[in-house]
Amino acid sequence: MLVPTVRFAPSPTGLLHVGNIRAALFNWLFARRHGGTFILRLDDTDRVRGRPEYEVAIERDLMWLGLNWARKEKQSDRLAHYDAAKIMLADAGRLYPCYETPEELEFKRKRLLAQGRPPIYDRAALRLSEADKTRLKNEGRLPHWRFKLASEEVRWDDLVRGPQHIDEASQSDPVLVRADGTYLYSFTSVVDDIAFAITHVIRGEDHVTNSGAQIQMFKALGATAPIFAHLPLLVDATGGGLSKRTGSAPVADLRERGIEAIALSALLARLGTADPVEPVTSLDALAATVDFGRVGRAAASFSEEELSQLNARTLHILPYDAVRARLADDLGEAFWLAVRGNLVTLGDAAGWAEARLRGLTA
């Protein structure tokens, strides 16, 4: 087996929720199982929505979960690499400037739809002469840049989804560089995956549609695409998307509500897999069984109720050493072993300690 190098690549535009954590966890467990490397990559090129405090929060959440990283990279430090890759693609004729405004593009899209045709970008920009481009520039228009897709079927063997194929001839050439010069994630991600020699891209199913174009970008930049594993999305008990009420709450909220990190990991590692959800006392126990072949293709259903129950079952088996630092000093191992079977959250131990005190002093 190829020794994996994987990355978890959150954008610091918000707090991590269970869906993000699931991707982080699978990356970490996979690297752990196969003696590989887990990289934290902060996709912090969104100047409008990105915030340093979210970066701090992301790192705190990962540390709480024990998902430590061997290396940390920030995309904002790597702009020169994206500039170089942009030139490489443009020189190879795979990146071209476009001058349409959003309104013009929307008009084209509507017209195609009205004609009953798929709204694929018509590559009008490829037909512009140098004189046209000069005129447009003189009008004050700044170009955005599109990747010229090769019109071929892209195939890959997804570790979760099995054989995949996307006909790129039926897709619009994706925009990689905005008119303000900023780069889109789909491009910077490929540049970084090449630079860090990422062997496996493990991420949510919402990215499947990017993968075909990204595989072409890897090739156009002279690299081989990594292996992909797209995890099915998490849904609530009714099959709907997670909402604040049903589980899209930030992970920090779960921590504050007394959920044990290892209980959350145990649930997220096993949801939607062929393996039972059961309490464990260490991430290594989860790493030992992580296997994309055992992840089902259907959306996995997350419930906070199940998490609370698993939290209680986890506390019932946690050894004293796992909680010692978080218990009041004088509560020893004997106390822990006597009360852990009654706890729903670790915070409940204080109540038991008080009861003991009352019993003793009565």
Q: Which two tokens stand for residue 230?
A: 């797209």
CA distance 273 to 270: 5
Binding residue for ligand GLU (CB under 6 A) from 78, 207, 219, 356?
Answer: 207
Q: Is 203 one of the binding residues for ligand GLU (CB under 6 A)? A: yes
For residue 204, CA distances in Å to 27, 89, 105, 183 come to 11, 27, 29, 21
CA distance 181 to 50: 17
Residue in 351, 270, 251 with CA at minimum distance from that of residue 313: 270
**Taking CB under 6 A as the rule, which mask of x and - marks residues 298-317 in contact with ligand GLU?**
--------------------
Q: Which of 206, 157, 205, 159 is nearest to 34 (CA)?
A: 159
Judged by DSSP in three states, 229 sits in strand
Shortest Cβ 1–ligand GLU spacing (Å): 21
Which residues between 236 and 255 bind ligand GLU (CB under 6 A)?
A: none
Contact range with ligand GLU by CB under 6 A, out of 7-15, 125-133, 170-178, 312-320:
7-15
What sections of the chain are H helices per DSSP?
Answer: 18-33, 52-65, 79-91, 102-114, 130-138, 185-195, 208-220, 251-256, 261-270, 283-287, 304-317, 320-323, 333-339, 348-361
Residue among 189, 199, 211, 246 that touches ligand GLU (CB under 6 A): 189
Q: Residue 254 CB, nearest distance to ligand GLU (Å)?
A: 20
Among 4, 5, 6, 9, binds ligand GLU (CB under 6 A): 9
Binding of ligand GLU by 11 (CB under 6 A): yes
Which of 4, 10, 36, 143 forms a contact with ligand GLU (CB under 6 A)? 10
196 binds ligand GLU (CB under 6 A): no
Burial class (CB in 10 A: 0-12, 13-18, 19+), 263: buried
Q: How far is the CB of 295 from ligand GLU (least distance, A)?
A: 16
Decide if residue 43 touches ligand GLU (CB under 6 A). yes
- What is each CA distance from 121 to 108, 171, 207, 237, in whole angstroms? 8, 8, 21, 39
CB-based contact 31:243 (threshold 8 Å) = no
Give the shortest CB-173-to-ligand GLU separation in angstroms: 20
* Stretch 169-188: interaction string toward ligand GLU, x if CB under 6 A: ----------------x---
Nearest approach, Cβ of residue 191 and ligand GLU (Å): 12
| Residues forming the site for ligand GLU (CB under 6 A) | 9-11, 43, 185, 189, 201, 203, 207
